[in-house]
A and B are shown apart, each in its own frame.
Chain A
């Protein structure tokens, strides 16, 4: 039996039943990492010793009956923008090349309380800015389906690690699609919760009003289970929301009869790859056959989401990343003359090109004389986009569409034209602007054998509806393991 082909919940059951020891699962994962990292490079840091030590502790608690949850003893990988006490946390940036947090992010703490064993920290686009995981200062991550292609981003490391079966599940973060889009490219399932559901405390901020932490796994059951574990009201995060009915696993029901599903016609238009379109419509058909009422409608404003998103995200990022200055932690340039020169050299040497590009844009749109024209305009657009979704959800339970316009592009094909890369976020960013939950799950492959992702979007706090629909759809197909998984 290949342990790594199990889902997190399947492994959890075997551990609980005593069929598999936590240490055994941990060693199996560490071994898989050792074998596959050279090809996929999902990790920035592998926590070998810590994971084995932790595995023993967790096993003891499970044996004693102190840990009984579905994820107890299951190894996990954490995106490298979530702080882990005593473990290097880099955001895949040179500027945090040696940063060892003194505290652990709340979402990760919640997983630890559920008995998780942290295997390591996954690669990402630097500070989560990018759609390919190529902007990492620690090398690119490759797509386990075809290592000539990107895994998507920014949670590319987390998604590739799950798809390559180096780990059972992972945490990612999603500011404009950073969980859903790489999940789509890597053929795994990733869920971005409603804003405020998972605490942002300890998540190194990119766009504070958009960032959410979420699960990445092989299937919908794992995602719902992990989401249930990481959801918490956190007094340390003022934007945290006390969720009622956070029993997400109760929505794992194969029944969509009567569910009203809207497909935004705007999501099927120009720019959408025809193979992707076909797969999405086929998936909709399956849900329809299962009793859902599916229709196309005009969502409107879709083309305004990207410019609004990039103004807001860049503005917030320019401010959030000011703290990286060579004073308190991280990289400080070797030679400098005076304070401001130290700041400038440390930051210019410490940040990569994409991060600098967004910091420059963000500083500009907030600068004197431009604030109203750009930043406020974007916030007003955001309000309109939210209204458009409110209208849609007055009619439909969930929305269905592609996660990304194409399958994974080839390595090196995206970065030369940033604006073109940004356009790839067209179906994901508006979900963040409106604070909505969204899930991406595999719904087929293109002719090159690359996975296609189906995106389901719910109204705020309606994760259960998208989980139910995703689960129902998932029952119609078999999980496809990536070529790298089978090694």
Chain B
């Protein structure tokens, strides 16, 4: 995570742990080490973008300047329940079942 003077990216164990929490991925120790190396290499490569002066350039998220795509407020669906639940790994009646979510 910390940028060393040479410009080489170094990803700490802590960072990999943190990204794993964000991404909800549990990596084995081996995978973590590989992920660190992969990410360092990728970031070093991505740092190539810093050669470009983009100070005068706006970020472009959409290619086309299409705006205002709306739907009217008209209800169309009837009962979507069975379709919605058709692929559920675990269900109870008409609801999905998940491990208890109460905080604490």
The segment out of A142-150, A167-175, A251-259, A329-337 that lies at the interface is: A329-337
Which of A12-20, A73-81, A95-103, A126-134 lies at the interface?
A95-103
A-B contact pairs, 19 of them (CB 8 A): A209-B62, A239-B62, A241-B66, A301-B52, A304-B51, A310-B46, A327-B89, A329-B87, A338-B100, A339-B98, A347-B24, A347-B26, A348-B25, A356-B27, A379-B61, A380-B57, A382-B59, A383-B58, A419-B42
- The answer, yes or no, to whether A139 is at the interface (CB within 8 Å) is no
B73 interfacial by beta-carbon distance below 8 Å: no
Of the listed residues B18, B22, B39, B60, the one surrounded by the most CB atoms of chain A closer than 10 A to its CB is B60
- Assess A339 versus B100: contact at CB under 8 Å? Given A360-B39, A379-B60: yes
Asked if A448 is at the interface (CB within 8 A of a chain B CB), the reply is no
* A351 in contact (CB, < 8 A): yes
Query: A377 with B87: in contact, given A344-B24, A367-B22 (CB under 8 Å)?
Result: no
8 Å CB interface, B13-54 against A: 15-16, 18-20, 22-27, 31, 35, 38-39, 41-42, 45-52, 54
| Contact status of A342 and B59, CB under 8 A, knowing A351-B25, A357-B35, A363-B22 | no
Q: Which residue of B59, B84, B86 is within 8 Å of A376 (Cβ)?
A: B59
Within the complex, the shortest CB–CB distance from B2 to chain A, in Å, comes to 12
Q: Are A377 and B64 in contact (CB under 8 A)?
A: no
> What are the residues of chain B within 8 A of A347 when measuring CB–CB?
23-26
Interface string of A85-116 (1 = CB under 8 A from B): 00000000000001110110000000000000
B34 to chain A, nearest CB (A): 8
Smallest beta-carbon distance B8→chain A, Å? 15
**How many residues belonging to B are interface residues under a CB distance threshold of 8 Å?**
49
Q: Which residues of B contact A318 (CB under 8 A)?
A: 23
Contact between A310 and B42 (Cβ–Cβ < 8 Å)?
Answer: yes
Tell whether, in the assembled complex, residue B48 and residue A307 are in contact, meaning their CB atoms are under 8 Å apart. Answer: yes
B90 at the interface (CB under 8 A from A): yes
A314 to B: closest C-beta gap in Å: 8
Query: Is B26's CB under 8 angstroms from A360's CB?
Result: no
Q: Is there contact, CB below 8 Å, between B61 and A209?
A: yes
> Which residue of B24, B35, B60, B86 is within 8 Å of A382 (Cβ)?
B60
Q: CA separation between A187 and B65, bound complex, in Å?
A: 36
Q: Which residues of B contact A364 (CB under 8 A)?
A: 15, 19, 39
Determine if B87 and A336 form an interchain contact, defined as CB atoms under 8 angstroms apart: no
Q: Nearest Cβ in chain A — how far from B69, in angstroms?
A: 4
Additional 5 contacts, C-beta under 8 A, given A318-B23, A359-B23: A209-B62, A307-B48, A328-B84, A360-B35, A377-B54
CB distance from B7 to the nearest CB of A (A): 13
Question: Inside 8 A of A363's CB, which chain B residues have their CB?
Answer: 19, 22-23
Q: How many residues of A contact B (CB 8 A)?
A: 70
Q: How far is the CB of A432 from chain B (nearest CB, A)?
A: 10
Complex: A89 Cα to B89 Cα, angstroms: 16
A343 contacts B24, C-beta separation under 8 Å: yes
Which of A235, A338, A357 is close to B99, meaning CB atoms less than 8 Å apart?
A338
Whether B19 pairs with A328 at a CB distance below 8 angstroms is: no
Which residue of chain B is the closest to A340 with respect to CB atoms? B24
A304: B residues at CB distance < 8 A: 48-49, 51-52
Tell me if A419 and B99 are in contact (CB < 8 A): no
Pick the most buried of B16, B47, B64, B90: most chain A CB atoms within 10 A of its CB.
B64
Chain A residues near B66: list those with CB within 8 A: 196, 239, 241
Residue of A nearest to B97 (CB): A327
A328 to B100: give the CA distance in the assembly, Å: 15
Answer whether residue B71 sits at the interface, using C-beta atoms and an 8 A cutoff: yes
Decide: B98 and A342 in contact? CB cutoff 8 A: yes
Q: Is the CB of B25 within 8 A of A100?
A: no
Q: Is A303 among interface residues, defined by CB-CB distance under 8 A?
A: yes
Residue of B nearest to A419 (CB): B41
A434 interface contact, C-beta 8 A:
yes
